[in-house]
Amino acid sequence: MSQALWVQDEWANLVTDVARFPDLRVISFDGFNSVKNNNAERIRRDSIDLAEFQYKRNGAVLLAMNFSLRGSTDGQVEEHKQRCLKWKNGLCPNNHTQPEFRVYRSKSTRMLTAWLPLGF
- The CATH number of whichever domain residue 85 belongs to comes to 3.30.110
Percent of the chain with pLDDT over 70: 98
Radius of gyration for the alpha carbons in the chain, expressed in angstroms and rounded: 14
pTM to 2 decimals?
Answer: 0.87
Residue 88's nearest CA partner among 40, 55, 43 is 55
Domain span at residue 81? 15-118
Question: How much is the average pLDDT of 66-70?
Answer: 93
pLDDT greater than 90 at residue 75: yes
Question: How much is the average pLDDT of 36-65?
Answer: 91
Question: How much is the average pLDDT of 46-57?
Answer: 92
Residue 64 included in any domain: yes
Q: 2-16, 28-42, 47-61, 86-100: lowest mean pLDDT where?
A: 2-16
Residue 78 included in any domain: yes
Residue 89 included in any domain: yes
Number of domains in the chain: 1
Residue 7 included in any domain: no
Residue 16's nearest CA partner among 55, 36, 45 is 45
Residue 119 — left, alpha, or beta (φ > 0 → left; ψ -120 to 50 → alpha)?
Answer: left
Question: For the chain, what's the residue count?
Answer: 120
CB 64 within 8 A of CB 97: no
Residue 4 included in any domain: no
Residue 67 included in any domain: yes
